[in-house]
Amino acid sequence: MSESGGRASEPAFKARELDASDELAGVRSRFVLDDVVYLDGNSLGALPAAVPGRVEDVVRRQWGELRIRSWEESGWWTAPERIGDRIAPLVGSGAGQIVVGDSTSVNIFKALVGAVRLARLGDPGRDEIVVDATTFPTDGYIATSAARMTGCTLRPVTPAEVPGVLGDRTAAVLLNHVDYRTGRLHDLPALTAAVHAAGAVAVWDLCHSAGALPVGLDEHGVDLAVGCTYKYLNGGPGSPAYLYVRRDLQARFDSPLPGWNSHAEPFGMRPDYEPADGALRGRVGTPDILSMLALEAALEVWDGVSVESVRAKSLALTDFFLECVARYVPTGRVESLTPAAHEERGSQVALRCADAGEVMERLIERGVVGDFRHPDVLRFGFTPLYVGFGDVERAARALGETLGAGGGAAG
């Protein structure tokens, strides 16, 4: 490694300086971590330290001792909306617009069919669903089924093509805020405005943005949104997803999955369905209490943390990683698929590499955990709450050595 420019030019020294000035460094102690550099939080977040004790209490005391009384005495019944209100500030939503429960896929189905029904209240002739052609596969599967169910034509296009295909036939548009493969951040404000200008309903998938960057659901007038909680929100494997329904749309939101839990009188056992008021009509069946209350405990790591500070660190981490990759990895060995521009970047870096699967296996053996996406993508997720700049430097150095740089400068 070249010494020209002095010690401050060395990535390892720079990492120590950045860690020393990191205002979020103390949050790391709120997680259960080891010596592994964990850069897969965009797939499954690390375990918050408060969760094991809370789950034990839920199982031993709330379930084991209070039993059915916990629906009232332990607040089980109100958990979906209570935890939704806890998530709300992280995605720029006011209280009373988010309900937690079911999987991301189920919530996308509810949102997309509900969006078509909303659009047709104003224009029954709207018969087209526009979907992000680069989306996570499940979103596409759900959109296909929703189109078939509602008698719509499905129109897959890239997010950049969306404004040009919108028209008076468009009922709903389903888009990902951040591309799961490349980490590209799409322009939610501009695309939402374009959808509204066409008289359609905007549905956003926030799985790779919630907890990593400001979303601004209320500010930008998003109609409906869905997100998971096991990535940057660190809710645990299979933790429940959430559904956002903008306040002024709630009275007209017609869920395709009406269940007893979303009934205006859930214990009335009436044969006819009457939806509850507000976001509660997004509920379906009995909440998954164990994983839901684990999520509630996990969200405590956000106490005193602003999304803006997380975004600032996310950009600094990904900038530094790209800088270290340029320093350590042999020239031409990898290609970044993640945009360099901050306004187009989420909180991950995706590198194209010819033998990506094997490379990731070797990195994991060295204690650097990212993930591999077929056929040739190395994916590294940066969760600012627990990833430090020293982790970033170590990961890039391990990547360089794995790819044959021997730890030295790459060109």
With bands split at pLDDT 50, 70 and 90, how would you rate the model's confidence at 407?
A: very low
What average pLDDT does this structure show over 158-186?
98
What is the reported pLDDT for 31?
98
Catalytic residues: 136, 205, 230-231, 379
Chain segment 325-383, per-residue pLDDT in tens = 999 999 999 999 999 999 999 999 999 999 999 999 999 999 999 999 999 999 999 99
What is the reported pLDDT for 303?
98
| Residue 349, helix vs strand vs coil | strand
What is the CATH code for 7-32+305-402?
3.90.1150.10
What is the reported pLDDT for 171?
98
| Backbone phi and psi for residue 263, each to the nearest 5 degrees, phi listed first | -75, 145
What average pLDDT does this structure show over 73-81?
98
**Residue 129 above 70 pLDDT?**
yes
**What residue segments make up the domains of the chain, in order of their start?**
7-32+305-402, 53-302
CATH of 53-302, picked from 3.90.1300.10, 3.40.50.720, 3.40.640.10, 2.60.40.10, is 3.40.640.10
**Residue 132 above 90 pLDDT?**
yes
Contacts (Cβ under 8 Å, ≥6 apart) of 77: 71
Q: How many other C-beta atoms lie within 10 A of the C-beta of residue 9?
A: 13
What average pLDDT does this structure show over 194-204?
98
Q: Is the pTM of this model over 0.85?
A: yes
Contacts (Cβ under 8 Å, ≥6 apart) of 72: none
**278: region left, alpha or beta (phi > 0 left; psi from -120 to 50 alpha):** left
CA distances from 215 to 150, 195, 210, 218 (A): 29, 17, 7, 9
Chain segment 91-111, per-residue pLDDT in tens = 999 999 999 999 999 999 999
**Residue 261 above 50 pLDDT?**
yes
Give the percent of the chain with pLDDT over 90.
95
Chain segment 34-73, per-residue pLDDT in tens = 999 999 999 999 999 999 999 999 999 999 999 999 999 9
Chain segment 287-304, per-residue pLDDT in tens = 999 999 999 999 999 999
Which of these, 248, 296, 235, lies nearest to 78 by C-alpha position?
296
Contacts (Cβ under 8 Å, ≥6 apart) of 85: 95, 96, 98
Which of the residue ranges 8-12, 220-224, 309-313, 331-335 would you say has the lowest mean pLDDT? 8-12
What is the reported pLDDT for 404?
85
Q: How many other C-beta atoms lie within 10 A of the C-beta of residue 402?
A: 20
What is the reported pLDDT for 69?
98
**275 DSSP 8-state letter:** B
Longest dimension (CA), the chain: 79
What is the reported pLDDT for 9?
57
| Residue 32, helix vs strand vs coil | strand
What average pLDDT does this structure show over 388-401?
97
What is the reported pLDDT for 337?
97
